[in-house]
Structures are given as structure tokens and as C-alpha cells.
Amino acid sequence: MKQKELYKTAIYCRLSLDDGSEGDSSSIHTQKMLLEKYCKDNGFEIYDYYIDDGYSGLNYNRPNFQRMLQDIENGKIDLVITKDLSRLGRDYIMTGYYTEIYFNEKSVRYIAVNDNIDTINDNNDIAPFKNILNDMYAKDISRKVKSAKRLRMHKGYYISCQPPYGYKVNPNDPNQLVIDEEVVDVVKLIFRLALNNNGVVKIVQELNKREIDTPSIYKAKNGDKRCLTSIEQRKSKFTYDEINKWNTNTVGKILRDVVYIGDMENHKYEVKNYKTKKRTRVPKEEHIIVQNTHEAIISRNDFNKVQDLIKGRQRPSKYDFPNIFKGILRCANCGRKLTIGYHLRKSGRRAYSYQCYDRYLIHPTDTEANSIRYEVIYQIVDERIKDLFNNINVYGEEFLLSVINSVEITDGLTELKNQKEKINHRLNVLSNLVSKVFEDYASNLMSFENYQFLLTKYQDEQKSLNLKLREIDNKLTENLDKPLEKIKKFMQVVKNYLNYEELTKELISNLIDHIIVGNVKMVNGKKTRDIRIVYRFLS
């Protein structure tokens, strides 16, 4: 990149909540003063300031960072200046992409003042190592934050961003919940209705009948910004009356939440990876529950009675025959499960059929009608299973090889091979990095501490990747025998039903995973539809 006489400069400043503990040296104001002086001393024209205050260095979707990239795309900027590399970002892979590839491709010069990094020069070999150290700092901060949160959980502190319905944060102690007197009677009403053996559907109907605001509407009216934003987004699709309707999911959560008996339940979700920030659900047995952390709304005795009623409540059958395809049939267009219903014939007899109700929703994904009579699907499945069993009797296990979905197996092998190729490529890169680190240390270009740190990091990654490589090789070997294993499992089930007389719920559940039902179509003047049976173990 050639030196330019005049640059259109972007001053980029970032400060995360974690950086706030570092003092004034990292403040936005200090960063701006430093960079403004640097531009003045070097004769750089400042085009604009791009400031992201309160954003993590691992998040590259920061609003002003994205605005800066857009200005780069539009040719408005050809120089980006930050206080140091960590202000640009703390993920060494993404930061390296911008400094080594993106800025270069867009003919944009980049300067990190305190790190003496300037992409116009050819002496920036230390930049990748600084990026790695910044990444390690972010990882260390994440580990410390997680440890501190876990300690607060075990003490029974309230650590969520939104208090549960019926409670609010104690103004004198942000770690504790206090009863919200405005809606506490609604919570009591929900549990009282449940104790009178009303199911969630009836409770929802009663709440809507009384026109009681839902938790999200109530919180929005009280200034909760997250609820306000959510409601504004939903207004484009739903009316206010549709939004302000209780549902069975909300009521069910309230009835099962131990917070209403004075217990604090934490660690329901956790972030596995400090870079992606993706939350995953934690198994119930791993939740952290501390008893008697705040005032209860419901007594333990009443709460336990409600749990027993929920567990013991049986939904009575509406039908006078065994619904053997319940949960098995799926719509080929939208994937929704087909639901059984009936209409009365002139004789007064009920005619049952399964149909997809997706097109009746407010925002359907499937506008075509899709239904099939009970006796029709029964006959089709019965004929297909008997045909399958006859072929097994004649041709044995060899016939099942043609039933197995070979595409799925092939795709699985392809994915494993792709993973293996990526790992081998990374191992080659690591080998080269180890050699370069040693050469830099031997040439006195690197301190022993940095050499030892990087060498250990690369060797640990090599060990981890080699373990993964062995696992993949074992899976590739296992997949060669996969079809035969599937056949053996299927045959163990089949032998119990080879001479069945009629279809039963047990037979369907043990043999079939699901059945895909297509719409009726006209082909050459005849009605036809695609129905695919997906057998257990064979697909």
C-alpha cells in the first residue's frame, strides 16, 4: 500500500463493560483525545468518529463498527486509527482478518497507535501475537465473570435481567426480589384456579375473560425497555388485543416456577463458548436452587399439590377408537403434525380424518389444504408394512439394504471426511507456526516468556486436534458397518410383528418414526398423493 499525502481518517473507539475497570486510560474520552492528537501531529484529516461504548471486543456486530465498514465500502474512508489492537477487537481470528485481509483488499491503512502497528509498513509481525494475547485476555475475563456469577448463584442472589411476574427488584438490595403488590393477586388467582383442578386452558380463558394484562404488557406499561421493544416489533404482525392474550405456555411456566414459594432457581442456561455467546439449556438436575431467599407468594404445600395435579391430570379421549397415528403423521409442505378431527355423516356416524391446521393460523407457511381420512391412511400403512414383511420373508436382510437411506449415510461420511481435511490443514498450519516461533526465539526476535507461551498454546491445540482426528477415524470405520447395524436393530423389532392381524399403536410406535403425507394432486386427470413411511433404524 503506497503512502498517500492526505487520508480520510476514521477514528474508532470502543469500550466494553469489562474494560471499565481499567480506569481512565481506557475511557472513550481518553481514546478520542489520544487519537485526535495523533491525527493532528501526522496531518491526517478526520472524516468521522465511530464510537461503540459498552460493546464486547468479541462482538463484531457493533453498530458503529458496522457503520465504519459501510463507509469503507462506499469509499469514504481510507485510514482507520484505534488506540490499540484490542479496541478493534479481541478475537484474534476476526481481528487478524480485518488487519491482514479486509483493510488491505479495500486499500485502507490501519494504525494501532500504542501497539506501533501500521499496515503501511512491513514490520508488523508482532500483530498476530498481540491479537492472540487480546483473545486470551477476553477468555480470562469470561472465565472470571462466569466464576463470579456461579458464586452469586450459590448464595441465592437474584441475577437475572428481568424479575419474574409477581415480583420486582428490591430497591434497597438489587440481589433480592420483593413482592409486586400490583399483580400478586393475579399469581394467587392462577394457583387458586389450579388447586380447583382447572387445567391451563381454563385458567388462560379465565384470565383473558377478566381482561388481565399479560406479563409482557404489564412490564411494558411499567417501562421495561425489552418488553416495549418486543411489543413494538410484534405490532407489525398482530393487533394489540392479539398481543395482550394469555397463553398456556406462560401459565404453565408460572405454575411450575419455585420462585413463588420463596426459592431462587438459577443456572437454567449457560454460555458454553465465550465467543459465540450462545445460550444452551442446562438439565434440570444441574440447576442451582437456594431455598427461602425471598418472601413466598404461594405456600409449599399448595405448590406441591399443584405439581401433583399437573402430573396426574389425564386428558380424556374425545374419540371412540384407538388413535394409532397420533403424533406420527406430518405435513409434507410445512412439517406440522397432522391433527385428528371428525365430521358427522348423514347416518349420524362420525367420519374421522387427519388434517394440517397450519393454513388456519394468522401467518401460515402452507396455504394448501392437506387432510387424509383415517381409513385411507390405515389401509395404505397396513399394505406397505405387509408388503415389507413379505419381502423380508422372501429375500431376508438383503432386501432391507435397499430400504436404507443411502444418501444419509453418504452425507454422514462426507461430513466426517470434510472435518478430517480441515483438521489436517490446521495441523499443518500449527506445525509451521511452531517452527516459526522457534526460529524467532533462536534469532533473538522473541523473549523466552513469549516463546514458551506460544509454544505451549500451539502444542496443546495440536494434541486436541490429534484426539479429534482419532475419533473421526474411528467413526469412519464404524460407518462402514452402519447399514448392517441398522438392519439388525430393525429385525429385532420386526420379528415380534411378522404375523400381526391388525395395526396397533404399539406396532406403529415401534416400527415407524414418522409418516410424511403430501397434498392431493391431479396428475393426468387422476388424484394422487405422495406418502412416505420413515421406518425406525432404516433412515
Question: 113-138: per-residue pLDDT in tens?
Answer: 888 888 887 655 555 555 555 556 55
pLDDT digits (tens, 9 = 90+) for 480-516: 556 666 677 777 777 778 888 888 888 888 888 889 9
Rounded to whole angstroms, the Cα distance separating 530 from 521 reads 9
Same domain flag for 426 and 397: no
pLDDT at 51: 94
Contacts of 77 (CB under 8 A, 6+ apart): 8, 9, 10, 47, 48, 68, 71, 108
What is the predicted pLDDT for the residue at 405?
Answer: 44
Assess whether 394 and 417 both reside in one domain: no
**258 and 384 assigned to the same domain:** no
Enclosing domain of residue 340: 329-402+495-535
Average of per-residue pLDDT values in the chain: 79
Residue at grid coordinates 491525527 = 39
Instruction: Enter the DSSP assignment of 371.
Output: E
- Dihedral sign (CA 500, 503, 508, 514): positive
Asked if residues 83 and 112 have their Cβ atoms less than 8 Å apart, the reply is: yes
Say yes or no: 341 and 466 in one domain. Answer: no
In a domain, 372, yes or no: yes
Does residue 135 sit in the same domain as residue 13? Answer: yes
CATH number of the domain to which 131 belongs: 3.40.50.1390
Would residue 2 count as lying in a domain? no
Q: What is the mean pLDDT of residues 14-37?
A: 73
32-79 per-position pLDDT tens digit: 988 999 999 888 999 999 999 888 887 888 899 999 999 999 999 999
Q: How far apart are the first and last CA of the chain?
A: 56
Do 85 and 47 belong together in one domain? Answer: yes
> Cα dihedral sign for 260, 265, 269, 274?
positive
Same domain (yes/no): 224, 356: no
Query: What pLDDT shows up at residue 411?
Result: 44
| Distance, C-alpha 95 to centroid of its chain | 24
CB within 8 Å of 326: residues ≥ 6 apart: 340, 505
pLDDT category at 408 given cuts 50, 70, 90 is very low
Among residues 131, 136, 51, 53, the alpha carbon closest in space to that of 95 is found at 131
Same domain, 60 and 134: yes
Ranking 143-157, 163-177, 364-378 by mean pLDDT, the lowest is 143-157
Domain boundary among 142, 177, 194: 142
Q: What is the dihedral of CA 119, 122, 128, 131, to 10 degrees?
A: -30
Band of pLDDT at residue 351, cut at 50, 70 and 90: confident
- Torsional sign, CA 330, 331, 334, 336: negative
Give the pLDDT mean for 70-92: 89
| Mean pLDDT along residues 378-390 | 89
Model confidence at 349: pLDDT above 70: yes
What integer pLDDT is reported at residue 345 of this predicted model? Answer: 79
pLDDT at residue 377, as a whole number: 92
pTM of the full structure = 0.39
Which CATH number goes with the domain that contains 449? 1.10.287
Query: Hey, what's the cell of 296?
Result: 413466598
The winner for highest mean pLDDT among 18-27, 126-135, 245-254, 335-344 is 245-254
SS (H, E, C) 422-488: HHHHHHHHHHHHHHHHHHHHHCCCCCHHHHHHHHHHHHHHHHHHHHHHHHHHHHHHHHHCHHHHHHH
pLDDT of residue 185: 94
Closest CA to 503 of 321, 340, 381, 341: 381
* In-domain check, residue 161: no
Same-domain check for residues 372 and 455: no
Residues 300, 398: one domain? Answer: no
CA distance 402 to 389: 14
Does 148 map to a domain?
Answer: no
- Whether 51 and 109 map to the same domain: the answer is yes
Does residue 270 form part of some domain?
A: yes
Same domain, 383 and 531: yes
Q: Is there a contact between 18 and 141 (Cβ–Cβ < 8 Å)?
A: yes
132-141, 363-372, 529-538: least confidently modelled range: 132-141
User: What sign does the dihedral 293-299-300-304 (CA atoms) show?
Assistant: negative
The H or E element spanning position 111 is strand 109-112
Residue 147 lies in a domain: no
Q: How many domains does the chain contain in total? A: 4
Could you give the C-alpha distances from 449 to 43, 99, 161, 355, 452, in angstroms and in order? 38, 25, 42, 69, 5
Per the rule left: phi > 0, alpha: psi between -120 and 50, beta: everything else, 48 is beta
Check which CATH number belongs to the domain holding 208 and give it: 3.90.1750.20
- Burial class of 260 by CB neighbour count within 10 A (0 to 12, 13 to 18, 19+): buried
Residue 124 located in a structural domain: yes
| Structural domain includes residue 322 | no
Residues, the chain: 539
At residue 111, the pLDDT reads 92
C-alpha cell of 140?
A: 480470562
